[in-house]
Amino acid sequence: MKKLVFIFVMLGMFSCGDYIDKPKNLIESEVMAEILADLTITDQAVVIYQNKNLEAGTRFVLKTHKVKSEDFVNSFQYYVIKDKMKDIAEDAQKIVLKKDPKAEKYVQDKLKNAGNTPVLDK
């Protein structure tokens, strides 16, 4: 009886391999970083021009990269669960800094003013 329970416990442990299946149309991490960078820039444009529509900007960015919103959401969820979003976000930040060199000074000023903020790692 103990052997039978042991076998079922082991089967249960090995059958739970992933929390999420890989999406059918997974967006590559490099493309995901480019999309996030463009969405960040679009978000800043909406802050400057407050009467504009953020949703239209988001649709434009996704259309520019030829990505469906459903694929973006599924890929985003996949990368978050797989703990790869931090690397993608860092790549996106590098892309933003390449596109707008003035942004680096802004980021450094924000980090300086923030002081010792806790790092949100597991």
Position 12 scores a pLDDT of 55
Report how far residue 94's alpha carbon sits from residue 79's, in angstroms, rounded to the nearest whole number: 18
The model's pTM is: 0.70
- Asked if 61 and 38 touch (Cβ cutoff 8 Å), the reply is yes
The structural domains of the chain, with segments of one domain joined by +, span 23-100
Q: What is the pLDDT of residues 55-79, one digit of tens each?
A: 888 889 999 999 999 999 999 999 9
Residue with the two structure tokens 């990368």: 79
**What is the CB neighbour count within 10 angstroms for residue 97?**
15
**21-29 average pLDDT score:** 89
